[in-house]
């Protein structure tokens, strides 16, 4: 049952302690359960604590997974986890016995958030989830990602609530190749990504020349930044090409692929963002939401691996959203 929206609780966090059970094997794997815990601690004990409401996700129904993924991949994924394998395809993609079920919950968080927004039971929704999703391809896991949470949420919003034009804005340090794959031939979705230049960064895609194809030509905007780039370059891009593209597209709803690994303390990229930049991103995004989507904004966690910078950046981002909306 959807929680009632309370005026002093403006941010709905969708989270489940099950996310802690996705086992990435220890060692040097950066996508660890502690990421959830540090965000939880920061939000529950920080300045935003009184503004938060918590909701639990439901596992995403298979029909929504199939809006992006193939049956073959879903079977392979489930079978791999149940058979006790430790990774799929590449050691980056570590799995445990419960990973498949947890990935369903992770994908389901966005759908729950959309329901709450559409029922006016939430104003701002942030999904604190793992595993992340934006590298996942229709039938291949990549870069710690198994199910493409943002792409699935976009299709859900379009099909269940008839919000035709969906923009996914991705500020993770890495290009969301899976989201681009979902949208690049589609005129009714827009994917904007600001990321470290693919000549220097995983997954090696996201060149500015990739603009979409066929009916989707012009609906992909990749903004690659050279290693070392920081707040100044991001702000300049937001105020020029990003805002121009949004004005052209006129989205009905916005989904944020919220990755925080471009922070200067996070060694998963060579980018140099400050914590304050995430506050500014929140302000900007809230402004776009007011201008174009009547508040329809969903944020889903992607990357962010530095266990001090991550929670502070999430809090800064949410405070930016809150200040403007």
Partner 1 sequence: MFIHYYMTPSPVTIQAHMYIAEARDLLGHKHFRHLPVVDNDGRLQGMITDRDLRSADPSTVLNADERQRILDRVQKTKVKAIMSTDYLSLKTVSTLDDALLLFEKKPVGALPVLDSAGKVVGIFSLDDLTRAYRSLFGLGEKGSVLIAIENQTDSPSLSRLVQVLEEHNVLFTRLVCSDGKGKEPAMIYLRINTCNIPAVHRAVEKAGFIVHVPMSASQGQPPA
The catalytic residue positions are: 135
Query: Does the protein bind partner 1 through residue 25 (CB under 8 A)?
Result: no
Query: Does the protein bind partner 1 through residue 228 (CB under 8 A)?
Result: yes
Q: Which of 230, 235, 265, 324 binds partner 1 (CB under 8 A)?
A: 230
Which range in 107-115, 121-129, 247-255, 266-274 contacts partner 1 by CB under 8 A?
A: 266-274
Q: Which is nearer to partner 1, 207 or 248 (CB)?
A: 207
CB-CB contact of 185 with 214 (8 Å): yes
Q: Which of residues 53-82 bind partner 1 (CB under 8 A)?
A: none
Helices (H), the chain: 34-45, 62-65, 71-82, 99-118, 149-161, 177-183, 231-237, 243-249, 275-288, 309-324
Query: Does the protein bind partner 1 through residue 90 (CB under 8 A)?
Result: yes
Which range in 55-63, 73-81, 89-97, 243-251 contacts partner 1 by CB under 8 A?
A: 89-97
Query: Does the protein bind partner 1 through residue 195 (CB under 8 A)?
Result: no
Please tell me the count of residues contacting partner 1 according to CB under 8 A.
34
Whether the CA torsion 109, 53, 259, 309 is positive or negative: it is negative
Q: Which is nearer to partner 1, 67 or 233 (CB)?
A: 233
Shortest CB 106 distance to partner 1, Å: 17
Strands 124-127 and 297-301: parallel
CB-CB contact of 69 with 153 (8 Å): no
The token pair at 139 is: 């039938």
Q: Please work out, in degrees rounded to the nearest 5, the angle formed at the alpha carbon of residue 148 by the alpha carbons of 163 and 299.
A: 55
CB-CB contact of 212 with 280 (8 Å): no
Q: Which of 34, 71, 82, 91 binds partner 1 (CB under 8 A)?
A: 91
Shortest CB 193 distance to partner 1, Å: 14
The token pair at 90 is: 């590449």
Q: Which is nearer to partner 1, 60 or 136 (CB)?
A: 136
Shortest CB 227 distance to partner 1, Å: 4
Q: Which is nearer to partner 1, 147 or 268 (CB)?
A: 268
**DSSP calls for 34-89:** HHHHHHHHHHHHSTTGGGEEEE---PPPHHHHTTTS-HHHHHHHHHHHHTT-SBSS
DSSP state of 300: E
Query: Does the protein bind partner 1 through residue 207 (CB under 8 A)?
Result: yes
Q: Which of 151, 225, 242, 277 binds partner 1 (CB under 8 A)?
A: 225
Shortest CB 111 distance to partner 1, Å: 26
Q: Which of residues 115-144 bind partner 1 (CB under 8 A)?
A: 135, 137, 142-144
CB-CB contact of 30 with 268 (8 Å): yes
Residue given tokens 């369903």 in the structure block = 104
Q: Which is nearer to partner 1, 46 or 230 (CB)?
A: 230
Residues of this chain that bind partner 1 (CB under 8 A): 28-30, 90-92, 135, 137, 142-144, 174, 177, 198-205, 207, 225-230, 232-233, 267-268, 270, 272
């Amino acid at each position: 049952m959807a929680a009632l929206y309370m005026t002093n609780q403006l941010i709905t966090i969708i989270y489940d302690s099950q996310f802690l059970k996705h086992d990435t094997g220890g060692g040097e794997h950066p996508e660890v359960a502690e990421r959830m815990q540090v965000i939880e601690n920061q939000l529950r004990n920080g300045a935003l604590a009184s503004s938060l409401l918590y909701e639990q996700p439901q596992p995403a129904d298979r029909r929504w997974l199939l809006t992006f993924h193939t049956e073959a991949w879903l079977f392979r994924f489930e079978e791999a986890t149940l058979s006790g394998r430790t990774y799929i395809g590449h050691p980056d993609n570590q799995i445990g016995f419960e990973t498949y079920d947890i990935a369903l919950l992770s994908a389901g968080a966005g759908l729950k958030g959309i329901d709450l927004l559409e029922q006016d039971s939430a104003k701002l929704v942030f999904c604190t989830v793992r595993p992340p999703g934006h590298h996942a391809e229709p039938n291949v896991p990549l870069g710690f990602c198994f199910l493409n949470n943002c792409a699935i949420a976009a299709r859900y919003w379009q099909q269940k609530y008839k919000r035709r034009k969906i923009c996914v804005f991705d500020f993770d340090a890495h290009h969301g190749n899976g989201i681009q794959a979902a949208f690049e031939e589609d005129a009714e979705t827009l994917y904007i990504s600001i990321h470290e230049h693919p000549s220097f960064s995983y997954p090696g895609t996201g060149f500015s020349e990739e603009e979409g194809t066929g009916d989707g030509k012009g609906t992909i905007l990749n903004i690659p930044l050279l290693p070392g780039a920081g707040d100044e370059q991001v702000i300049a891009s937001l105020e020029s090409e990003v805002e121009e593209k949004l004005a052209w597209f006129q989205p009905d709803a916005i989904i944020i692929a919220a990755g925080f690994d471009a922070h200067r303390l996070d060694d998963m990229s060579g980018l140099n963002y400050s914590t304050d930049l995430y506050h500014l991103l929140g302000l900007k995004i809230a402004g776009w939401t007011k201008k174009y989507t009547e508040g329809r904004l969903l944020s889903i966690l992607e990357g962010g691996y530095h266990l001090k910078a991550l929670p502070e950046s999430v809090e800064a981002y949410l405070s930016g959203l809150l200040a403007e909306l």
